[in-house]
Amino acid sequence: MKKVCIFGGTFNPPHIGHLIMANEVYHALDFDEIRFMPNAKPPHKEVVQLATGEQRLHMLKLAIEPFSYFSVEPIEIVRGGLSYSFDTMIELQKQEPQTQFSFLIGADMIAYLSQWYKIDELVKQFQLIGVRRTGYDEKSTYPVTLIEAPLIDLSSTMLRNRVKDGKDVTLLIPENVQSYIREEKLYE
C-alpha cells in the first residue's frame, strides 16, 4: 500500500520552512510521497488573499521541482470554498482506496485541533503528524505523531511583508518562486 502524507496550508508563498518540514517528515516516517495541498479558504483563520489559488499552485510546483517525492494536490483549489480537512481527506481516500493517507500539520495548528471540523472522525481514520515549531505548545488530547526537524522560524506573513518592503528573501524562498513573485508583482 502506498503511503502518502498530505501537507495542507495556505502556502502564500511557499518557503524553505515548508520544504524542510516536508522533507523531514518524508524521511522520518518513510513515506512514498508528500503532497502539498493549498487550501481554497481555511475555516480556522482569516487569510488576506494576496495570491490566487492558481498562483499558489504554480508557486508550489516551482518550489518542489528538485524533489521527486514531492507533488502538489489541487483538490481544494479546484473545489473552492471553505476547505475542511476531514471532507478533503475522505474524498482523497475515495479517489485512491489503495493509498494510506496521513495529514501533516504545523505546531501552530495543534492547539486548535479541538476546534477542527469532525476532528474525532479525522483522527480515527488518518494519522496526524505534527512538526515542532518554536513558541508553540505541541500538547494535545488528540493523537499527533510529533517529528523533530531543524527549527527555522519563518512565516509566509513575514515573507510577504519583506517582499512588500523590498527587503531580501534570498535563501528563504526558492529562487524560481522569487522570480515568479517578481514577474507577477505579488505581495507588493
Domains of the chain in start order, with CATH, are 2-153 (3.40.50.620)
Q: Give the whole-angstrom CA distance, residue 187 versus residue 151.
A: 25
Give the model's pLDDT for residue 99.
98
Give the model's pLDDT for residue 48.
62
- From first to last of the 188 residues of the chain, give the pLDDT tens digit: 999 999 998 899 999 999 999 999 999 999 999 999 999 876 666 656 689 999 999 999 999 999 999 999 999 999 998 889 999 999 999 999 999 999 998 777 888 899 999 999 999 999 999 987 766 777 888 999 999 888 788 889 899 999 999 999 999 999 999 999 999 999 98
Give the model's pLDDT for residue 151.
77
Give the model's pLDDT for residue 47.
56
What is the model's pTM? 0.92
Q: How many CB atoms sit inside 10 A of residue 170's CB?
A: 7
Burial of residue 73 (number of CB atoms within 10 Å: 0-12, 13-18, 19+): buried
